[in-house]
Amino acid sequence: MLLSDKFYSGRKLQTLVENQTSYTLNNAAMHIFETHQTADRILLQFDQPVLASMLQGKKVMHLRSKQAFDFLPGESLILPSDEVMCIDFPEANMDSPTKCMAMAISEDKIREVIMIMNETMPRSENQEWCFMDYNFHFTNDTGIYHILQRLLFLFTENHPAKDLFVDFMLKELIIRIMQAESKKIYTDQALHMNTSNRLAYVVNYIRKNLQQNLNVQDLSQKAYMSESNFHKVFKNELGISPVEFINNERIKLASSLLQDPNIKIKEVYMECGFESRSYFNRLFKRKKNISPKEFKDSVQN
């Protein structure tokens, strides 16, 4: 993500470690931190829930509930209010400073969005959307990336309606983050979830049967839902349609299989449930920005 020219023209570099530039609006505050030298065990804390997102460089994060982990560009982290972050900067220097965005969001705004989600985006098993699970560390998907880039611009823009613009973007951001969290739970923990959870059962079934002909009609029957309700609930909870999820899982499997030097591309696309090589090639290139052959050659060189 890129910082606007207005940010650089307005900020003052007062310290080489976690130099802070802040912008405050009604329901959120954005803080940009820059570090220009290596440092260890720097403490940081906010009195509201925070979305931290790396822009440049590398941090090592130490949190109470997790083992130390690298925090890299393209990744984000949700933290509760008053959480103490202990941060190392192993690679920061004057030519390549570490840059991070930390956006504090009011709990009232988060509750408002969750209420709207429960009214308009029903989940399976009569569950409700609830306050997001903190210390959720994730890689930004395309939607979240573009929202964060837009927010970086809006906070630094001198526009009379920017509070309103930011408010719209915050609602979408909260919804997408909660869907990303739900998707991660279903994809990472579905095997260990209660077998009565119909959506978890279907996710497991998809991952175990990628080579089969999978369609929404059959999957909805396995979930004991109507086809339209299954499609709606699946997309509400995971943020993508069942077909998109199936294709993502198939491409993930294909990426793994293509690393085997003894397997042919035809064998890969058939093993992953694709009926034609041309469709497999198009979808793989759209997801990976590289053809299956180019991917196979790159991992073997």
Distance of CA 26 to the CA centre of its chain: 25
Percent of the chain with pLDDT over 90: 67
Q: What is the pLDDT of residue 197?
A: 79
**pLDDT tens per residue across span 181-222:** 888 877 776 555 555 578 888 988 999 999 999 999 999 998
Band the pLDDT of 149: cuts 50, 70, 90: very high
Q: Kindly report the CATH class assigned to 193-301.
A: mainly alpha
| Nearest Cα to Cα of residue 136 among 66, 210, 72 | 66
Q: What is the pLDDT of residue 185?
A: 77
282 has a pLDDT exceeding 80: yes
Percent of the chain with pLDDT over 70: 96
Q: What is the pLDDT of residue 133?
A: 63
- Over the chain, what is the mean pLDDT? 90
Q: What is the pTM of this model?
A: 0.78
Q: What is the pLDDT of residue 11?
A: 86
- CATH T-level fold of 5-184: Jelly Rolls (2.60.120)
Same fold: 5-184 with 193-301? no
For the chain, what are the domain ranges? 5-184, 193-301
146-168: average pLDDT: 94
3-29: average pLDDT: 90
Q: What is the pLDDT of residue 135?
A: 80
